[in-house]
Chain A
Amino acid sequence: METALEKERLQKEVDVARTIQASLLPRSAPSSPSFDIDSITTPASDVGGDYYDYVKFSNGSHGAIIADVSGKGVPAALYMATLKGVVLAEMRRATGPADLLRRVNTTLHGSMERHTYITMTCVEFTNDCRSLRFARAGHTPTLLRRAGATTVITPGGVAIGIVSPSMFDAALEEVVIPVNAGDICLLTTDGVTERRDGAMNEIGLIPISTMLDSLEPTTALDVVRHTLDLLERHAGDEDPHDDITIVALIVRGDNE
């Protein structure tokens, strides 16, 4: 009886944790005539270690981040909440994606458990959205469809919490890529690319990239939905073994 009550109490605490974690995600996406952005995250269990957010840099330009804390469940969720606090504190002082990732690693390195790390990608879209600036801290590659062809964006960078700030900074690259109306940027966590079917086969990047090549979305939400549909078709009835997070950006025509 006591065990049943204890179980019920723990489940209630996890339910509260799930509600709190959901409240840490952005309530709405930034709105601009130059771009449309939308996102979704689904934890594999009650709480998860995935995180996305929209940021604003010191120069006033917008950005998005996507991150994945190693491990699962409550420990990963606690790090996710910590990461949110660090991102909020640092974004307005950061000059761009690489600077934000550097600041996050400098703050968190040394205070994380030794076996834990965070992968994170940050993309900046200037107000006219003529180019995208990317930096990556060990995160799953980004897909970018430009002029109807999808490429994989993988600038160099080590996951957060693994190496000292000096080693982290030395390995971190930032790339700037010009974009035009209709181009699509898709950020995911590895729960997307590693979504498995009943025979344990992961979907991988190629089917997602092929889908983007021919996609004619009206909104960023369309891109998110098409990606989720593709995952569902691949996985069938298999439950996800990892959190799934998707951030999609479409460059609009008003950037001329």
Chain B
Amino acid sequence: MNKNFAVTSEPHSNGCNVVRLEGYLDAHTATNLEETIHTVIAQGCNRIVVDFEELEYISSAGLGVFMVFIEGVRASGGDLKLAAMKPKVFTVFDLLGFPVLFEIHPSVETALGNFHQGE
């Protein structure tokens, strides 16, 4: 298991930003993610897709990061969509009831496409 954590963000052609996660998201690494999403929003983007494909593990502190931003981006007409989770990571979200609050897509492409349809 990759116990390091990496987060990168990349603007997408349709005005969205894709935030890619890798490794192990817990109390120690959650601050990195929070800073990255904060920077994306501060630069004027409120349409964010989080790519979980390379994320191996998420703890409760990691989950809390998404709650910090969801209300703000939706209030400004945007959204924070989650995509491409491994089954084990999805189970953590699912048990907590997060699918009630967040859109969770099978792939980054479907999440991006969903932003298109919403326009």
List the interface of chain A (C-beta within 8 A of B).
68, 70-72, 114-117, 119, 137-141, 154, 156-159, 162-163, 167, 171, 190, 200
Contact = CB atoms under 8 A, between A and B. Distances in A.
Interface centre among B64, B96, B101 (most CB of A within 10 A): B96
6 contacts: A70-B64, A71-B60, A71-B61, A117-B64, A158-B101, A190-B60
B101 A138 contact: no
Contacts, number: 59
A119 B96 contact: yes
Describe B's contact surface by its main secondary structure.
helix
B97 A115 contact: no
Contacts of A138: 95-97
B1 interface: yes
Contacts of A71: 27, 60-61, 64
B97 A70 contact: no
Contact of B95 (A154, A162, A171): A154
A162 B1 contact: no
Interface stretch (B11-19, B41-49, B65-73, B105-113): B65-73
Contact of A159 (B27, B65, B71, B97): B97
Given A72-B27, A140-B95, A200-B1, A158 B100 contact: yes
B38 interface: no
A222 B61 CA distance: 33
B101 A163 contact: yes
A71 B98 CA distance: 17
Nearest to A170: B100
A70 B63 contact: yes
